[in-house]
Structure 1
């Protein structure tokens, strides 16, 4: 931000960092064990990249506590309970992380106790985290990191979350509810006019059919269908949630030199390499409000990159650590896949659960390095990493620099996904480069 607090020429609150400021952003961290000392994995070369940055950000999808002494209990049915030991806190710090988002669909795996204990471990470690709190005001508030080249703010929220995990503010005599900052989405299915008319005839033939006529919308069996050019999924963001998030972005930037916004969402599904229809508009609004970078994650694979007004929008950075060999799995998760915890092991369960789901692309990602000069994004490096998809379970999920030609394949896929956003990525010596021109700053 400029010293007088005015907007820059692009209509956004200006970036105000010293020359050479670098931000490293990566995707989801699903961890059950420390990894920094595992030299066999090749992670050391990746950690050096993280450690050199002024601000290093990731999304933590793991609760941190000693499960043997934990007084709470799992709160999610039919899913894995992500948890790692207290040593994860210092491990993440040594890896180079100084900013983490805690707003995601695993925030409440272990209920309020697990959420609070995770925050306590990170506080003790000195890692700034955002996205959860004792009420909505705390959960959506910006958190701050002071660096040698400027003060960095982080605002985090989740579009994919368990209903019980959403924080709310006090109202009258009702106290606030602890949880995460949520972006509620209203889902619908788009269909061409002729298909919508067929659905309307079915709806009208059912008992208790809605009496209100709407030419562009049909509600059938609890699902909303609306007119569109093709069959697909559509999402409308809750206006009140948007207002709350935008306000905190604007306020966060007023007290910082650089602001990162984090959104965890799986929409429209983990099968999709394209972002949901609401997200581009939202990301641009957030940058207009003062964000210097938008980082999306959740669908477990890479999506495209856009440069908007000279600021990066990452629609998904995929998985950074995907160590999903969890030591704690619920009995209902075993039952869902026809396994018996008295006979079958966790590994047996995961082999069955991951069939047709944990594809090779889930184990391929990038480390993004954004460098700023003259308070403008000058260069964005995209460093391919792979997480050992072909390794045995004990060694799978830890990032290492992708060898050629794997690196080239990852970057070529990212080129294809980013092209619709007008982003040009060159490949030089196994690294993707986005050079920001004066035209992309406008």
Structure 2
């Protein structure tokens, strides 16, 4: 046979042999990826929480035309995440109702409320003992301002119809029902607008069945329209780390109702945090108090020396709320506390909030409070903070 013909057939024969080989050996076939990564059903919402925004007279006097200036600059980096929650303890009723930061009757100019979004706040709880300091007009002015700003609020209502509904805010596909209550108000709420202020105690400051039923109704309604239920409670006794009976009773009751996060305030000092587990296994994270976020009082009457000093110390909590859309379970994790000192010097000058991880004894010695107490020191403050929290809380 012609050699040229033989060589011409060699590629054809080789190709045919390869086809037969691969046909009978499936191992060499290209692998197809049949397993795909399962879509996660857990959604995370990062959250920052502060204590009371209590704007007092000396702070107004230091401000330039009621502007914050650099007061919040050093703590602002900690106000981060999807939800940033604060308790606005002062009405923002405007000049026409009289600006006051004295005498336990408070009202702020509109500019105070208008600046809060610049700090990051997108949720304000408004239920507190100063809520009725300017009557219905103060409530109306405050709510109308925040509504105009599209600021989400809870705990101050303009009608009975509104009181009967759950305020809901959505972040990252998770719906949050936010409820807020106060133990009482400093002035009597008229019967013609008693819908405006939500209480959790009766007029004798007792946690009665009537008020348990109110909480149960509200929480069950919140569960119908939200994935996660947060309750803010203005409660307890001022100037103490000790929890009252009503704090503990209300906490246990809310835990049994299935509330996910409780944010307490009113004590004007830091208080403990803890996880509670109900009889059905539901876990609630409780922040009893984060002290003051904003304040300005060097004397602090009605208190002893220790808590006059700790009145100057507040906290910011950063945490992650995880909600599983499949199991409907919610967990709170990555809890970190950043304590800070409300620093101001002689005669209420140079106000600024300083994270405690940036604080030192030199700054403590310059604080106006040091003129009233030799115990206002870096080491004493550090000891007080550390004794309040167990290993489940990361202290920054």
Give the whole-Å Cα distance in 2 for the aligned partners of 1:352 and 1:303. 18
Aligned to 2:286: 313
Cα RMSD over matched residues? 3.4
Instruction: Return the offset for 1:260.
Output: 1.3
- The answer to whether residue 384 in structure 2 is matched with residue 416 in structure 1 is no
Aligned to 1:61: 89
Query: Could you tell me which of 362, 367, 376 is aligned with 2:316?
Result: 367
> Where do 1:105-184 residues align within 5 Å?
105-134=129-158, 138-139=162-163, 141-162=165-186, 164-165=188-189, 177-184=194-201
Give the whole-Å Cα distance in 2 for the aligned partners of 1:244 and 1:20. 30
Larger relative contact order (Cα-Cα within 8 Å, sequence gap ≥ 6): 1
- The answer to whether residue 354 in structure 2 is matched with residue 400 in structure 1 is yes
Structure 2 residue runs without a partner (length 5+): 1-39, 278-282, 325-329, 361-376
Q: CA separation of 1:164/1:17 partners in 2, compared to 1, >3 Å: closer, same or farther?
A: farther
TM-score of the pair, normalised by structure 2: 0.71
**What SS does the corresponding residue of 1:372 show, helix, strand or coil?**
strand
Give the whole-Å Cα distance in 1 for the aligned partners of 2:83 and 2:379. 27
Give the whole-Å Cα distance in 1 for the aligned partners of 2:339 and 2:240. 20
> Where do 1:34-433 residues align within 5 Å?
38-39=69-70, 41=71, 43-50=72-79, 52-67=80-95, 70=96, 79-134=103-158, 138-139=162-163, 141-162=165-186, 164-165=188-189, 177-185=194-202, 236-265=206-235, 267=236, 269-309=237-277, 310-323=283-296, 359-373=308-322, 375-388=330-343, 390=345, 392-396=347-351, 398-402=352-356, 403-404=358-359, 410=381, 412-418=383-389, 423-425=390-392, 431=396
Count of aligned pairs between the two proteins:
321
**What SS does the corresponding residue of 2:239 show, helix, strand or coil?**
coil
Instruction: Return the offset for 1:81.
Output: 2.6
TM-score of the pair, normalised by structure 1: 0.64
Give the whole-Å Cα distance in 2 for the aligned partners of 1:176 and 1:372. 35
Do the aligned partners of 1:385 and 1:401 also contact (CA within 8 Å) in 2?
yes
Give the whole-Å Cα distance in 2 for the aligned partners of 1:366 and 1:407. 16
Q: CA separation of 1:122/1:178 partners in 2, compared to 1, >3 Å: closer, same or farther?
A: same
Structure 1 residue runs without a partner (length 5+): 1-15, 169-174, 188-234, 325-349, 432-442
Do the aligned partners of 1:65 and 1:114 also contact (CA within 8 Å) in 2?
yes
Structure in which a larger fraction of residues adopt helix: 2
